[in-house]
Structure 1
Amino acid sequence: MRYERQVKKKKRKWKVFLLIILLLVVGAIIYSYFQYKQGVSQSLDKVDNETIVQEEYEFNGEKDRYGGTNVLLLGSDSRGEEKSRADTIMVARYHPDTGSYKLISIMRDTYVEIPGHGENRINTAFALGGPELLRETIKENFDLDIQYYAIVDFQGFVHLVDEAFPKGVRIDVEKKMSENIGVTLEPGVQYLDGEHLLGYVRFRHDAIGDFGRVERQQKVVKQIGSQLTSIQTIPKLPKLIGVVTPFINTNMDTGDMLYIGKDFLSKENRNIDSLRIPVDGSWNDPTINNASVLTIDLEENKAAIHDFLVEQKSPIE
């Protein structure tokens, strides 16, 4: 009898333990949902809903042959325009096996073959056929598969920064900047709010033009990533996704974003390796049809991309 009582007592303890775990899981889900909805509501309260355009795009992306997940990141300031070009073109890569994060920036004036439309600057592909044509263009020219896309309106960037970093993001501004960015930035280390940080990554009116702008974009992405991990932002992640949701058009679901974001934020000293296309020494800057473009060595840049993405393992057959 004593043995049976002990067995029953142990079973009750396990039931209580499982019940507590279940309640914690349900509580976490409910908390995440309400945090997410609060973030969405917070953004919608700040803007005119009519300015938020969520067009549905066809996107026939495929998984990266090296086992990674590639996301086509596009920065847009279309303000509802139907034929806007992509102001920023990046491919963000996450590899679940190695936990690595990589970022490829493709300069928007890169002169390439756009399927069905002849040669033009690569950002023209977005205006001609949305993210799908841009995906096809990147695949044809660089043999790079992309599974997802995310078009981020610049308003969303501003709101996300202000929510995640109430005191601003620490940036070393290398020179005075003001032309065509809507704000004035003085040189030196300082904390920038969303509006001023956006101005920083958009500035291009100096001797190195778009090359400096792309370098600053990658610098800001790495700095934001570093500061997110340092302040333990995981509890805020559902709300942050909610804040940016009204300003992001993507074929990723919320679960995918939470999964990738949580893995990034849960590890300290998270590094983001970066690559710029075209790579040094592989381009010229002629004027074609009265437009300044970057003609590139496609094979050299294609090889640079695949050397950058390989994770010391053979491609998946």
Structure 2
Amino acid sequence: MRSEKHHVNNKRRWVSVLLVFLVLIGAAAGYTYYQYNQGINQSIKKINKTKQQTNKVVYTFEGKKDQYGDTNILLLGSDARGNEKSRADTIMIAHYNETRGTYKLTSIMRDIYINIPGHGKHKVNSAFAYGGPELMRQTIKENFDIDLQYYAIVDFQGFVQLIDEAFPKGVEINVEKKMSEYIGVTLEPGLQRLDGEHLLGYVRFRHDAIGDFGRVKRQQEALKAVGNQLKSIETIPKLPKLIGVITPFINTNMDTTDMLFMAKDFFSKNRGNVETLRIPIDNSFTDQRIKGEGAVLDINLEKNKEAFLQFISK
């Protein structure tokens, strides 16, 4: 009799624990959904206020994981609107390997002169204008033998909104020189905190002696700074809202759950510094001028392909 009563008490205890667990899961899901929608509504209000056009083109994208098990995400920066065809202003690939727990970032300089499937040789950023992210995927696969699973086209205003939401006091950046030409803001040299608009100007500036090479370097430095400084705040609870804030400004084939999973995995573990690579690598290219293209980077394709594959495979 006593044993039977003990068994009943244990059963009730486990039922209570299970109910509490389910309630907690439901509360977490509800919080995530609420914060995500808060972020979306916040961005939509700003879009409506500025009468900004955010129609999203529906793209096909036949991506898959690469031969090393990496999830590679094609990141394209653009300020084009609606159906306007434009070259990609920024081309990056984010590499995520769940098994090794590694996060890496490759910048592909937009003036690289390579073959674009079906179009001959052009600057690599022309692939986006000719055939959207899918043709860019094919171009990278053909030239560097790298498969891409996802794409994300980020409108520059989305970048501004994301930075302002995540960093109300700005992102700490050491600005190396005065910058103002063609970026819409003026940046003074020195260590300072930049809001979204000024940080966007910082990563877009390229009107100096080193041109696009300096711009790519600043882009990588800024993304590293954002990642490192996000780790120092209570990031994980803010992730749903941050993703909601950027959603109206991003065109991607990634599910919201995929973005949350990868972001949570990065910020919940001590990942250290994100490794970066620039294509072309040093001593692997020459400056050329091509009729109809202007200034281009004529690269040693095999040398860069080897460096690219070594970077993501280790």
Q: TM-score range by the shorter chain?
A: over 0.9
- CA deviation digits over 1:93-120, x for unaligned, max 9? 1000011100000000000000000000
Q: How far 1:81 sits from its partner (Å)?
A: 5.4
1:110-129 equivalence runs, <5 A = 110-129=112-131
Q: 2:249 aligns with which of 244, 247, 268?
A: 247
Q: How far 1:50 sits from its partner (Å)?
A: 5.3
Residues 35 and 241 of structure 2 are in contact (CA less than 8 Å); yes or no, is this contact kept in structure 1?
A: yes
AA paired with 2:36?
A: Y
Partner in structure 2 of residue 7 of structure 1: 7
Percent sequence identity over aligned pairs: 64
Distance 1:161 1:180 in 2: 21
AA paired with 2:27?
A: G
* Segments of 4+ moved more than 4 angstroms: none
Q: How far 1:268 sits from its partner (Å)?
A: 3.2
Partner in structure 2 of residue 173 of structure 1: 175
Partner in structure 2 of residue 314 of structure 1: none
- CA deviation digits over 1:197-245, x for unaligned, max 9? 0000000001100000000000011111101111120000000000000
Distance 2:124 2:181 in 1: 25
| Secondary structure of 2:181 counterpart | coil
Residues 54 and 248 of structure 2 are in contact (CA less than 8 Å); yes or no, is this contact kept in structure 1?
A: yes
Partner in structure 2 of residue 93 of structure 1: 95
Distance 1:269 1:301 in 2: 27
Partner in structure 1 of residue 30 of structure 2: 30
AA paired with 1:100?
A: T
- CA deviation digits over 1:147-166, x for unaligned, max 9? 00000000000000000000
Q: 1:302 aligns with which of 291, 305, 308?
A: 305
AA paired with 2:152?
A: A
Residues 172 and 188 of structure 1 are in contact (CA less than 8 Å); yes or no, is this contact kept in structure 2?
A: yes
Q: How far 1:269 sits from its partner (Å)?
A: 5.2
TM-score by length of 2: 0.97
Residues 229 and 267 of structure 1 are in contact (CA less than 8 Å); yes or no, is this contact kept in structure 2?
A: no
Partner in structure 2 of residue 43 of structure 1: 43
Residues 278 and 296 of structure 1 are in contact (CA less than 8 Å); yes or no, is this contact kept in structure 2?
A: yes
1:22-171 equivalence runs, <5 A = 22-48=22-48, 51-80=53-82, 82-171=84-173
AA paired with 2:92?
A: M
The count of aligned residue pairs is 311
Unaligned segments of structure 1, at least 5 residues: 312-317
- CA deviation digits over 1:265-300, x for unaligned, max 9? 112353210000000000011100150000100000
Q: How far 1:53 sits from its partner (Å)?
A: 2.1
Unaligned segments of structure 2, at least 5 residues: none
Residues 288 and 297 of structure 2 are in contact (CA less than 8 Å); yes or no, is this contact kept in structure 1?
A: yes
Distance 1:289 1:135 in 2: 26
Distance 1:81 1:123 in 2: 17
Distance 1:279 1:246 in 2: 35
Change (3 A) 1:269 1:68: closer
Distance 2:234 2:44 in 1: 26
TM-score by length of 1: 0.96
Partner in structure 1 of residue 202 of structure 2: 200
